[in-house]
């Protein structure tokens, strides 16, 4: 997947998530996706390289960093809870969508129950099973 496709795939996936909103609080070079005011994905360019920064479970984040050379600790974020994804061979649409949805679900799970647009324990699970 090339760099522009990475951003498009991540943004298209995020825009489909219930309650997701795109904001630009850090200027036009940063696309920030939130659910109920909480960030679940950021997109920008780091010295000319498009990146997607997403939340991840700390154990899974460590495993992803070990498995994929294009997944690194979160750029300007907590290195245990966030990862940075760059375009590279091996990055495909399914991986990007899975990571974006996982990030969204992690954030939704920490919202008060009354504010959750979906059940974070079941949302998107059928999507994975279909693969």
Tell me the pLDDT tens digit for each residue of 24-77: 999 999 999 999 999 999 999 988 889 999 999 999 999 999 998 889 988 878
Higher pLDDT, 108 or 1: 108
Q: Collapse the DSSP code of 58 into the 3-class scheme (helix H, G, I; strand E, B; otherwise coil) and give the result.
A: helix
**Mean pLDDT computed over 103-116:** 96
- Given this model, what pLDDT does residue 126 score? 62
d(CA 47, CA 60): 27
Judge whether 114 and 26 are in contact, CB under 8 Å.
Answer: no
Q: Name the pTM for this structure.
A: 0.90
Query: Which CATH code of 3.40.630.30, 3.90.226.10, 3.30.470.10, 3.90.1150.30 fits the domain covering 3-129?
Result: 3.90.1150.30
Residue 128 has pLDDT above 70, yes or no: no
| pLDDT tens digits, one per residue of 82-91 | 999 998 877 8
Sequence-separated contacts (24+) of 69-77 with Cβ below 8 Å: 75/44, 75/46, 75/51, 77/42, 77/53
């Amino acid at each position: 997947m090339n760099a522009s496709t990475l951003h498009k795939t991540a943004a298209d996936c995020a825009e489909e998530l219930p309650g997701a909103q795109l904001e630009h609080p850090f200027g036009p070079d940063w696309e920030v996706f939130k659910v109920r005011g909480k960030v679940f994905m950021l997109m920008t360019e780091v010295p000319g390289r498009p990146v997607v920064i997403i939340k991840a479970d700390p154990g899974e984040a460590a495993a992803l960093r070990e498995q994929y050379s294009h997944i690194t600790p979160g750029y300007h974020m907590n290195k245990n809870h966030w990862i940075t994804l760059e375009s590279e061979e091996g990055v495909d649409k399914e991986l990007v969508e899975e990571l974006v949805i996982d990030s969204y679900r992690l954030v939704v799970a920490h919202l008060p129950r009354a504010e959750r647009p979906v059940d974070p324990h079941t949302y998107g699970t059928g999507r994975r099973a279909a693969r």
